[in-house]
Amino acid sequence: MAEIRAFIAVPLSEKNLAAIRDLRRRIEPRYPQMRWVRTDDQIHLTLRFFAALPEEDLDRIHESMLSVGDLNAPFSVKIRGLGGFPRLNRPRVLWLGLEPSAPLVALHRRLEGALRREGFAPEERPFTPHVTLARARRRGGEEIKPPAWGRSWCGGSLDVNEIILYHSRLNPQGAVHTPLYRVGLNGTSSQKEHHT
């Protein structure tokens, strides 16, 4: 039985990605120990991650996504603030936050509920909406002085109008994310991607 690595996420617009590329140019010299996520195809807002998923479960996940898409209207949320796990001055993960958003919390809660009804165990970690920018190449390292303006940086509005199930393949150059299913919010559309 083949297992795949997958996740459900909200894609970012080209306008969001352009703002993030500009931010990266400004801060990359401060964080030499970080491996940066490719902005063309890897930056997204993850709603749910599946580390090892039997392929036959994909249709049940799609059904969960469809039920959630029918119940949620499109909305926007602001991308704001540079942060780090565990700390911005010595991060293992560098990320961008999102302003508190009741529609985003509701979307995540409904998605978790739909997945639970399909037999998927709930996520163990609490939902902390963020967009990952970079990961540390190694643990430790020198303390970094974050930019003073980092926490107030704004990357514009993220329009949340669809959710996508991606297949994530790991390779030496980094992960490759392939869309499997796209579901529009408010029941606007559903599309199965075809890949060879």
Which residues are known catalytic residues?
44, 130
How far is residue 110's CA from residue 106's CA, in Å, rounded to a whole number? 6
How far is residue 142's CA from residue 111's CA, in Å, rounded to a whole number? 40
Provide the edge-to-edge strand list for the sheet that holds 34-36.
34-36, 130-136, 93-98, 75-85, 154-160
Among 38, 57, 32, which residue's Cα sits nearest to residue 141?
Answer: 32
Considering only CA atoms, give the Rg of the chain. Answer: 17
Q: Do 159 and 13 contact (CB within 8 A), yes or no?
A: yes
Q: Do 166 and 181 contact (CB within 8 A), yes or no?
A: no
Estimate the share of the chain in helix, then strand, then coil, as percent rounded to the nearest 5.
Answer: 30, 40, 30
For 17, the token pair is: 């990605």
In a 3-state reduction of DSSP, which class is residue 127?
A: coil
